[in-house]
Amino acid sequence: MKRFFVGFAIGVLVVVSAVGGALTDRLYNLPFISKFVSGKTGSQQKILEQKVLKEESVVVDIAEQASPSVVTVSVTAEKQTLEPFFIDPFGLFEFNRPGRKEQVKQDIGTGFVIDGGLVVTNKHVVSSTDGKYRVITKDDKEFQVNKIYRDPTNDIAILKVDGMSVTAIRLGDSGNLKVGQFVIAIGTALGEFRHTVTTGVISGLGRGIQAGDPFGGNAEQLDNVIQTDAAINPGNSGGPLLNSAGEVIGINVAVAQGSQNIGFALPINSVKEVVDSFQKTGQFERPFLGVRYRMVSQKAAILNDVPQGAYVEDVVAGSPADNGGILNGDIITKIGGNKIEGKDDSGLAKEIAKRKVGDTIDIEVWRDGQTKNLKVTLQQSE
């Protein structure tokens, strides 16, 4: 009898354990219980893990695919080094020995190969005409830059490198970008860490900035650039901003000083137009009007009873402006229906930069109290 009760008790415990385990498992898998216990349902956790793995896989694949087409831009330049003061043991004489000139090598930016021996980078990366530039591939092979073509109106430069056999990177389309779109940046961060890969999203479109970095030494106004939170540091300038398909949708150009996770890139579509023209003609096309001018501010316009615009101080003989009938003393008020205004002297230049060589544009000028409409055909800058 005793054995019966012991066996019965053990059987009850086994049943209770089985039922309790099943019940616990069932309750745990209920959505509200599972959320309470772990914060995620089993299916949600699985989807999240798959998403993370997929994103990691995309980044790894793109980095492996695109990095061989990305190069580091380096410069060798003379640098004056100051010698310390020399004092003789007896304190009778003090000499300031002259400084020595040293050849200093410095990684200053990034670029990417678009066709055989042609590398695209930022103009401000190679703005100095004193140094000797070279590019360094991912496998640490170095090649001298034989020729630099600098775009006079955009922060773009093309480097011609002989003997380099690197696969060209794929160029995408920046015409349909969306805020929140996933992006990847590759570059030589801080001029020290080559082929650094960072990720983020497009944070904004159509921004206007002044581009430059500590290695460039100068800055210029750029419009319609892409804002991203992918980490872009000094030295990343000229490197590619890629989409999830591994295509270049922008050229990393600048980082907002004193801030975090605010970087900018030139849209690749505007770059492709310049590159296409360069590959056809072997030079950058710069539309040329042929006037020297200064802007008439709103205050000056009111005081002198004249319209705002670009006051023409001088017309280049034989230029499109000269051929089109623009005279010294004219005030250019409109180009193609767009008003010429601005606090600085870039107002007219910006409007001309939007055009192409060979474009015939309508120009409205104010002359001796009257408005005149002229037509001018832009030519290639010499």
More confident residue, 347 or 173: 173
Tell me the catalytic residues: 124, 155, 237
Query: What would the mean pLDDT of 174-186 be, rounded to a whole number?
Result: 92
- The last residue of one of the domains, among 235, 254, 281, is 281
Establish if 202 belongs to a structural domain.
Answer: yes
Within-domain flag for 58:
no
Number of domains making up the chain: 2
Residue 296 region by backbone torsions, left for phi larger than 0, else alpha for psi between -120 and 50, else beta: beta
Residue of 365, 370, 333, 326 lying closest to 348 (CA atoms): 333
pLDDT of the residue at 72: 94
Give the Cα separation of 194 and 189 in Å (integer).
6
Higher pLDDT, 261 or 294: 294
Query: Could you tell me if 309 and 346 lie in one domain?
Result: yes
**Are 206 and 244 found together in one domain?**
yes
277 and 321 assigned to the same domain: no
Report yes or no on whether pTM surpasses 0.75.
no
Domain, as residue range, for 187: 182-281
Q: Is residue 309 included in any domain, yes or no?
A: yes
Tens of pLDDT, residue by residue over 265-295, are 999 988 887 788 777 777 777 788 888 888 8
Instruction: Identify the residue whose tokens are 């005279």.
Output: 327
How high is the pLDDT of residue 341? Answer: 80
C-alpha 382/C-alpha 375 separation (Å) is: 21
Is 263 in the same domain as 219? yes
Distance CA 113, CA 80 (A): 33
Query: Amino acid identity of 8?
Result: F
Q: From 254, 281, 308, give the residue that closes a domain.
A: 281
266 and 335: one domain? no
**Are 275 and 295 part of one and the same domain?**
no
275 and 332 together in one domain = no
Q: Does residue 129 lie in a domain region? A: no
Please tell me whether residue 42 adopts helix, strand or coil conformation: helix
Model confidence at 23, in pLDDT bands (50, 70, 90)? Answer: very low
Closest C-alpha to 81, from 66, 65, 100:
100
Q: How far is CA 195 from the centre of its chain?
A: 16
Question: Of 76, 133, 78, nearest to 110 (Cα)?
Answer: 133
Task: Tell me the pLDDT tens digit for each residue of 313-339.
Answer: 999 888 899 999 999 999 999 998 888
Encoding tokens for residue 318? 């034989």
Is 295 within the bounds of a domain? yes
> Is the predicted pLDDT of residue 146 greater than 60, yes or no?
yes
What Å distances lie between residue 50 and 42, 231, 323, 330, CA to CA?
12, 25, 66, 66
Residue 363 covered by a domain: yes
* Residues in Cβ contact with 278 at an 8 Å cutoff, skipping those fewer than 6 apart: 149, 158, 284
pLDDT of 304 above 50: yes
* Residues 193 and 216 grouped into a single domain: yes
Give the mean pLDDT of 191-207.
89
Asked whether 71 and 142 are in contact (CB, 8 A), the reply is no
Residues 266, 222 share a domain: yes
Claim to verify: residue 257 and residue 345 sit in the same structural domain: no
Of these ranges, 147-161, 216-230, 282-296, 307-321, the one predicted with the greatest mean pLDDT is 307-321
Class of residue 190 by CB neighbours under 10 A (exposed 0-12, middle 13-18, buried 19+): middle
Residue 248 CA to residue 267 CA, distance in Å, equals 9
Residues 82-93: what's their mean pLDDT?
51
The span from the CA of 258 to the CA of 326, in Å, is 45
Same domain for 312 and 270, yes or no, is: no
Query: Residue 334: which CATH number?
Result: 2.30.42.10
Please check whether residue 332 lies inside any domain of the structure. yes
Whether 59 maps to a domain, the answer reads: no
Domain boundary among 258, 281, 304: 281
For 242, residues 6+ apart whose C-beta sits below 8 A from its C-beta are 62, 66, 172, 183, 184, 185, 186, 248, 249
CATH code assigned at 232: 2.40.10.10
- In angstroms, the CA 8 to CA 273 distance is 87
What does the mean pLDDT of the chain come to? 78
* pLDDT more than 90, % of the chain: 34
